[in-house]
């Protein structure tokens, strides 16, 4: 065989080997593609109809909105005769016992008025101080929330028996007489428990339930704040929210919680797969459940079957 023919034969063998290798590679790629496509189809079929979403982290509360009457420990100084008050102290200023508050004057002259006790000086009274000085919860009716406030104008003479000013005891925690509609209550309220009181979405403070009663289709409750509050010193009627209980954690729909081999948990979507994660239930309210045991980047299946 000539050299030329030998070269041609070797070249043909190399080309034959390359063609076989290419055919084998194409076959493997095709098989892999079909497998991937089949797997994706199976996953798509399995996930069809499943609601998958990123888990949320938050808080649920047992909260009621109501109207409250502010009850401070306050002592009113009444006028003995007609006159006007020339005050020397700023409104809501803290004063000590014996502090010169101003002068009460009329045509015959003026006399000095000094603080009978320490506290907070309040020039503007509302006429309800005596009404709410010794309130009995058992005798309270809805009418007490409709009592009218009566203020003495600084431009008018103060008549005998009318208030000149009052001193509020800032060492005594204020009480709140709150009314809640019974129809709004869907959770248990325990006597003597603590609640968080909100005023215009700002925390007023923690309060203890002193007493409560159900009457007139309402829950009427006497709360006592833990400490004195300057925010309500000049107010009688306020709208408040009372938070009786709260829990923070992962928020999930109640329907997403399933039992799997005696364990409560959630199905999470992880890439192409779905995995069961056991969780601990902290609190349930309506159709929402607070749990722990998840991660912030978990994608949960909110409408799973009992088992997947």
CATH code of the domain in which 282 resides: 2.40.420.20
Show the domain range for 40: 1-48
Average predicted confidence (pLDDT) for the chain: 88
Kindly tell me if the per-residue pLDDT of 77 is higher than 50. yes
Which whole number is the average pLDDT over 48-77?
A: 92
Q: 201-236 pLDDT, tens per residue?
A: 999 999 999 999 999 999 999 999 999 999 999 999
111 domain-assigned: yes
Do 102 and 157 lie in one domain? The reply is: yes
Say if residue 142 is in the same domain as residue 79. yes
- pLDDT score recorded for residue 245: 93
What digits encode the pLDDT tens for the residues 145-176?
999 999 888 888 999 999 999 999 999 999 99
Same domain, 42 and 77: no
CA 164 to mean position of chain CA atoms:
40
Lowest mean pLDDT among 15-24, 100-109, 196-205: 15-24
Tell me the average pLDDT across 47-65: 86
User: What is the rounded CA–CA span in Å between residue 129 and residue 102?
Assistant: 21
Stretch 277-299: mean pLDDT, rounded? Answer: 94
Q: Is residue 242 part of a domain?
A: no
* pLDDT of 67 strictly over 70: yes
Assess if residue 192 is contained within a domain.
Answer: no
CATH of the domain at 143: 2.40.50.100
Residue 183 maps to a domain:
no
CB atoms within 10 A of CB 49: 7
27, part of any domain: yes
Q: Indicate whether 6 belongs to any domain.
A: yes
User: 10 and 93: one domain?
Assistant: no
Q: Is residue 40 part of a domain?
A: yes
**160/77 same-domain check:** yes
Q: Are residues 78 and 166 in the same domain?
A: yes
Q: Between these two residues, 38 and 272, which has the higher pLDDT value?
A: 272
Residue 72 has pLDDT above 80, yes or no: yes
Examine the fold and report which residue of 124, 153, 171 is the final residue of a domain before the chain moves on.
171
Would the pLDDT of 40 be above 60? no
How many domains, the chain?
Answer: 3
Same domain, 116 and 149: yes
> What percentage of residues in the chain have a pLDDT greater than 90?
71
Structural domain contains residue 180: no
Q: What is the pLDDT of residue 124?
A: 92
Q: Determine the pLDDT at residue 279.
A: 96
Q: Are residues 78 and 42 in the same domain?
A: no
pLDDT score, position 8: 63
Co-location of 33 and 78 in the same domain? no
pTM as predicted: 0.77
């Amino acid at each position: 065989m000539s050299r030329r023919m030998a070269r041609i034969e070797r070249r043909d063998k190399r080309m034959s080997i390359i063609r076989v290798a290419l055919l084998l590679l194409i076959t493997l790629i095709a098989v892999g593609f079909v497998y991937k496509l089949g797997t994706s189809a199976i996953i798509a079929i399995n996930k069809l109809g499943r609601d998958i979403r990123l888990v949320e982290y938050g808080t649920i509360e047992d909260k009621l909105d109501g109207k409250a009457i502010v009850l401070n420990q306050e002592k009113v100084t009444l006028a003995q005769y007609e006159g006007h008050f020339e005050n020397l102290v700023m409104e809501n200023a803290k004063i000590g016992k014996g502090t010169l508050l101003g002068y009460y004057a009329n045509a015959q002259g003026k006399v000095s008025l000094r603080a009978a006790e320490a506290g907070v000086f309040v020039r503007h009274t509302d006429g309800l101080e005596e009404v709410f000085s010794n309130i009995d919860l058992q005798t309270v009716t809805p009418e007490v929330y409709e009592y009218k406030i009566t203020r003495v104008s600084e431009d008018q003479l103060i008549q005998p028996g009318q208030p000149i000013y009052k001193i509020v005891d800032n060492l005594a925690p204020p009480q709140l007489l709150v009314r809640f509609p019974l129809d709004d209550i869907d959770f248990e309220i325990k006597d003597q428990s603590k609640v968080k009181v909100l005023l215009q979405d700002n925390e007023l403070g923690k309060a203890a339930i002193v007493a409560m009663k159900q009457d007139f289709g309402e829950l009427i409750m006497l709360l006592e704040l833990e400490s004195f509050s300057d925010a309500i010193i000049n107010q009688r009627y306020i709208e408040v929210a009372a938070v009786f209980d709260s829990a923070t954690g992962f928020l999930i729909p109640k329907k997403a919680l399933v039992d799997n081999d005696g364990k409560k948990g959630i199905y999470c979507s992880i890439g192409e797969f779905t995995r069961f994660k056991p969780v601990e239930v902290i609190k349930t309210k309506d159709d929402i459940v607070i749990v722990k045991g998840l991660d912030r980047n978990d994608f949960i299946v909110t409408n799973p079957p009992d088992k997947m």
